[in-house]
């Protein structure tokens, strides 16, 4: 092997793609309607999008059209992933050297003719300090094709396994248990134990201040009437089974309980009224789904835009319009669930820095709620 030669441009493409996928955790994006271009995406990289373009650009008109086309594709990706900004790197491999790059917002462009040119490109060496040392240079020809393909396939196989483990159908156990527990307590209330259960279990700020902190959690399992429990349990069924499947049972129950507690705490900050219901915990699951969807936005971006966020906004509006619904409990649970999920992390996606930031912000959030509800009332 090694007697077959490949042209210099293809060699650069393979080495760059190999580096970005195996060393920088970029993922290929399928972009319909493009030819001789490779698009890569990473939520954690210095550039969200890297585009490697091997088309020949011979004049300024072609360059302007190429940038126009690139912006349109990036705009489509931003819509699909619900991203407000997307810093991108445009790598040209075959462009007339007389063409001057224009300053484009959020798009850096560089011209690479050979591997040696990499050392001269500050955008690359600053943002990817290991690109020179990690770039595959020990093989050429068919050996390069074989080794690069093998290593990329190994990397993508690992990613595909993670996606399969995350999205494959799994037994949902805790969600029906929680629904059953809520229904059981609801039946006990209407079988004659209502006064005692509500008296000792409902969320009530002054009682919590006196040490009855269990009310922050027990109130999450108490519902007033059939409509109250029906809508909450329906929402728990729809959202709960997704979070239990995507994140696992342990993370699901932690998110649910902490969200319920933080929802109760913020409700106490705003009002001294009695509070009951699982809405805060359910909104926490919505927060978890938003954080999860952020990490899998290329896969869940459309669902985030058409289902999850509209449901969230609708429920917040209902909290504003319908009396006796605690909007503060909804918001408290939503933030608590979001931060708890950030702390626990999304398997195969969350970095350690991200989890540490989640821990810090969650502690600050809970400390703020404790201070406001216990000492500022």
The whole-angstrom separation of Cα 1 and Cα 294 is: 44
pLDDT digits (tens, 9 = 90+) for 186-197: 998 888 776 777
Band (227; pLDDT cuts 50, 70, 90): confident
User: What are the structure tokens assigned to 311, written together?
Assistant: 């449901």
The whole-angstrom separation of Cα 87 and Cα 101 is: 16
Same domain, 249 and 299: yes
Task: Supply the residues annotated as catalytic.
Answer: 279, 330
Same domain, 187 and 302: yes
Same domain, 143 and 188: no
The whole-angstrom separation of Cα 359 and Cα 343 is: 5
Q: Hey, which of 41-50, 73-82, 300-309 has the most confident mean pLDDT? A: 41-50
* Pairing state between β 37-41 and 27-29: antiparallel
The whole-angstrom separation of Cα 255 and Cα 269 is: 21
Same domain, 155 and 178: no
Residue 61 exposure: Cα atoms within 13 Å on the Cβ side: 0
Same domain, 176 and 40: no
Same domain, 36 and 136: yes
Band (218; pLDDT cuts 50, 70, 90): very high
Indicate the range of 95-99, 105-109, 149-153, 277-281 predicted with least confidence: 149-153
pTM: 0.74
pLDDT value at 99 more than 70: yes
| Cα distances (angstroms) measured from residue 94 to each of 68, 90, 144, 156 | 18, 12, 21, 28
Dihedral angle over CA of 163, 168, 171, 172, nearest 10: 70
Same domain, 193 and 130: no
Does any domain span residue 3? no
pLDDT digits (tens, 9 = 90+) for 30-44: 777 778 888 888 877
Sign of CA dihedral 169, 174, 176, 179: negative
- In this prediction, residue 275 carries a pLDDT of 87
Does any domain span residue 1? no
Q: What are phi and psi of 84, to 5 degrees?
A: -85, -35
């Amino acid at each position: 092997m090694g007697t077959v030669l490949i042209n210099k441009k293809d060699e650069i493409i393979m080495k760059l793609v190999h580096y970005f996928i195996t060393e920088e955790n970029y993922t290929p994006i399928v972009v319909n309607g493009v030819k001789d271009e490779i698009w890569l995406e990473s939520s954690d990289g210095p550039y969200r999008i890297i585009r490697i373009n091997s088309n020949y650009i011979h004049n300024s008109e072609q360059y302007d059209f190429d940038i126009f086309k690139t912006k349109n594709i990036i705009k489509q990706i931003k819509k699909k992933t619900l991203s407000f900004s997307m810093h991108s790197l445009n790598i040209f491999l075959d462009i007339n050297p007389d063409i001057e790059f224009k300053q484009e917002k959020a798009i850096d462009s560089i011209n690479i003719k050979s591997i040696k040119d990499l050392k001269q490109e500050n955008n690359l060496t600053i943002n990817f300090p290991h690109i020179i040392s990690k770039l595959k240079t020990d093989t050429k020809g068919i050996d390069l094709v074989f080794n690069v393909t093998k290593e990329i396939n190994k990397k993508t196989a690992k990613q595909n396994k993670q996606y399969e483990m995350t999205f494959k159908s799994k037994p949902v156990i805790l969600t029906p248990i929680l629904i059953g527990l809520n229904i059981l307590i609801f039946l006990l209330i209407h079988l004659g134990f209502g006064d005692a259960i509500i008296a000792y279990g409902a969320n009530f700020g002054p009682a919590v201040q006196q040490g009855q902190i269990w009310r922050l959690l027990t109130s999450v399992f108490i519902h007033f009437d059939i409509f109250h429990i029906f809508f909450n349990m329906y929402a728990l069924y729809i959202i709960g089974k997704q979070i239990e499947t995507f994140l696992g049972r342990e993370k699901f129950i932690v998110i649910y309980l902490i969200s319920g507690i933080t929802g109760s705490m913020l409700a106490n900050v705003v009002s001294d009224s009695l509070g009951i219901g699982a809405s805060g915990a359910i909104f926490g699951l919505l927060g978890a789904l938003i954080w999860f969807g952020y990490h899998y936005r290329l896969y869940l971006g459309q669902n985030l835009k058409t289902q999850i966020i509209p449901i969230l906004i609708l429920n917040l509006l209902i909290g504003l319009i319908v009396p006796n619904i605690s909007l503060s409990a909804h918001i408290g649970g939503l933030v608590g669930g979001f931060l708890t999920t950030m702390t626990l992390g999304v398997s195969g996606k969350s970095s350690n820095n991200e989890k540490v930031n989640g821990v810090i912000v969650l502690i600050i959030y809970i400390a703020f709620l404790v201070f406001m509800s216990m000492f500022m009332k």
